[in-house]
A and B are shown apart, each in its own frame.
Chain A
Amino acid sequence: QSALTQPPSASGSPGQSVTISCTGTSSDVGGYNYVSWYQQHPGKAPKLMIYEVSKRPSGVPDRFSGSKSGNTASLTVSGLQAEDEADYYCSSYAGSVVVFGGGTKLTVL
């Protein structure tokens, strides 16, 4: 049950787009279309932003989108806004367990 690999940090200016990657293996990300992304602001509980690779829960802006290719999933945030500054975690089903990435701190410059 190894953690998925995310870059520790990402950044962009307001209005720009940023993509965060999440790399796993054929036993997790590559083996199932069960990837999700969570946003966590400091001192707050995580919030589900994307599930089943690319679906958005009700209330999540369409500026957030997800995709997957092989063993790597990606979260793209378009039209960056100040409130998007947060930690982002990917997760994947891995055969009866769930694994998370180490998290990426997104900074809006």
Chain B
Amino acid sequence: EVQLVESGGVVVQPGGSLRLSCAASGFTFDDYAMHWVRQAPGKGLEWVSLISWDGGSTYYADSVKGRFTISRDNSKNSLYLQMNSLRAEDTALYYCAKDIREAAAGTPYFDYWGQGTLVTVSS
């Protein structure tokens, strides 16, 4: 059974930094690209970032480019999101999501999602 478990969400002050983690199990982690998707309270979904299966390619939404960094450790079956210069508008539930396609650099389709970790940016 595929499982994705996010952690690291806390309350942080504007301008602060945070690293989110996602522990994956139930599939061959290093065969799949992975994504972060966020959802502000009561709002819709927003794609944040993609990393290819080998970590060689990364992509970001304009809203986080230059502030967030996605990475992965295939030896630990783990995905990360380093978040710097945080703003109030980054407040959201952050989901880790698995790409649908094996051995691809990344597709825009997410077939498994975690339950999310809540990041609140507030003074």
Chain B residues proximal to chain A, CB less than 8 Å: 35, 37, 44-47, 50, 59-63, 95, 100, 107-111, 113-116
Contacts and interface: CB of A to CB of B under 8 A. Distances in A.
Given A1-B63, A38-B45, A102-B44, 5 more contacts: A1-B61, A1-B62, A45-B116, A99-B47, A103-B45
A91 B62 CA distance: 16
Contact of A51 (B46, B59, B100, B116): B100
> Binding site of A, secondary structure by majority: helix, strand, loop or mixed?
strand
A103 B43 CA distance: 9
13 contacts: A3-B44, A34-B107, A38-B45, A46-B95, A51-B109, A52-B109, A57-B111, A91-B108, A93-B107, A97-B59, A97-B61, A100-B45, A103-B45
Given A45-B116, A48-B100, A34 B44 contact: no
Interface of A: 1, 3, 34, 36, 38, 40, 45-48, 51-52, 57, 89, 91-93, 96-103
Interface centre among B44, B60, B115 (most CB of A within 10 A): B44
A97 B44 contact: no
Given A1-B61, A51-B100, A97-B62, A91 B111 contact: no
Contacts of B60: 97
B44 A100 contact: yes
A1 B62 CA distance: 7
A89 B111 CA distance: 14
A52 B108 CA distance: 9
Given A45-B115, A51-B100, A100 B110 contact: no
A45 B113 contact: yes
Interface centre among B60, B61, B108 (most CB of A within 10 A): B108
Nearest to A44: B115
Given A45-B115, A45-B116, A97-B62, A89 B110 contact: no
Contacts of B59: 96-97
A98 B21 CA distance: 21
A58 to B, nearest CB: 9
A1 B44 CA distance: 15
